Amino acid sequence: METIRIDKMLSNVTNISRSEIKRFIKRGEVTVNGKVVKTADEKIDPESSEVKIKGQTIGYNEFVYIMLNKPKGILSASNDKSRKTVVDLVPENLKRQKLFPVGRLDKDTTGLIIITNDGEYAHKIISPKNKTGKVYIATLDGALKEDLISEFKKGVVLADGTKCRPASLEILESNIARLTLFDGKYHEVKRMFGVFDLGVNELHRYAIGDLTLPDTLQSGECLLMSAEDVEKTL
């Protein structure tokens, strides 16, 4: 692997700022393979080096992938001055610099959202051309008609004339549907059902690609994704 500056490596894999890392180095609290680091621009091979801060070993993973069971009322954003965001819910041991949510869920939508610092990965998930399905359970304020299945399969034309990509709709109960989308338009589910004079009372996303939200992951909880989990979303 290519070498990388010690301060950059540590900021990539921790939630510590570069300025704070420099202070650790200045105090002699950062070591590489048992030797005290003298300067922040010292270059190392992070995969073959044992790096410690104050005696604590810092593992190297350039990118991190986290699944969150998003509660209601939380913004799908990296930060906000007055409101809590999905990144705020990430526990300190999983936090990294520059974390962001992959796509968005509306403020009152619950369920699976992925948080990462890997922009290339996020683009693959978000881009409609990659056809990564997002699966939702929608509870409506009225009864679902069978002809909606074919309407969604054709691609719903929204009130402003925008045509959505074909979607899969399965009626589970009279007012509850499972919906698989391959788009990512703003308020898309609400706008799609709105075309048929149906309001969305509850919306929950439980899968992205082949990755399903674990039953054991409670609302507001995060889980570090495995390589297999990541592969399921691609």
Residue 106 a catalytic site member? yes
Verdict on whether the full-model pTM lies above 0.75: yes
Residues 224 and 116 in one domain: yes
Residues 71 and 175 in one domain: no
Q: How many H helices and E strands in the chain?
A: 6, 15
With CA atoms as reference, report the closest residue to 201 among 227, 234, 173, 220.
173
Give me the number of domains the chain comprises.
3
In which order are the strands placed within the sheet that holds 30-32?
A: 35-36, 30-32, 51-53, 56-57
Residues 93 and 150 in one domain: no
pLDDT at 136 over 90: yes
Residues 137 and 199 in one domain: yes
Residues 101 and 198 in one domain: no
Residues 197 and 151 in one domain: yes
Residues 194 and 215 in one domain: no
Residues 34 and 90 in one domain: no
CATH code of the domain containing 143: 3.30.70.1560
Separation of alpha carbons 147 and 165, rounded Å: 17
Q: Which of 41, 45, 106, 197 is catalytic?
A: 106
Q: Report helix, strand or coil for 19.
A: helix
Predicted local distance difference test score (pLDDT) of residue 14: 84
Residues 81 and 138 in one domain: no
Cα–Cα distance list, 213 to 84, 96, 205 (Å): 22, 22, 8
Q: What is the DSSP letter of 155?
A: -
Residues 112 and 220 in one domain: yes
CATH code of the domain containing 23: 3.10.290.10
pLDDT at 121 over 80: yes
Alpha-carbon Rg for the chain in angstroms: 22
Structure tokens at 135: 């699966």
Residues 26 and 91 in one domain: no
Tell me the pLDDT tens digit for each residue of 17-75: 889 999 999 999 999 999 999 999 999 998 889 999 999 888 888 899 999 999 999 99
Range of the domain at 37: 4-57
pLDDT at 1 over 70: no
Tell me the pLDDT tens digit for each residue of 6-19: 998 898 888 888 89
Query: For strand 43-44 and strand 65-70, is the pairing parallel, antiparallel, or unpaired?
Result: unpaired
pLDDT at 209 over 70: yes
Residues 138 and 201 in one domain: yes
* CA angle (140, 182, 154) in 5-degree steps: 70
Contact 113, 68 (CB under 8 A): yes
Cα–Cα distance list, 132 to 103, 108, 167 (Å): 12, 23, 12
Separation of alpha carbons 29 and 79, rounded Å: 30
Place of tokens 């709709």: 169
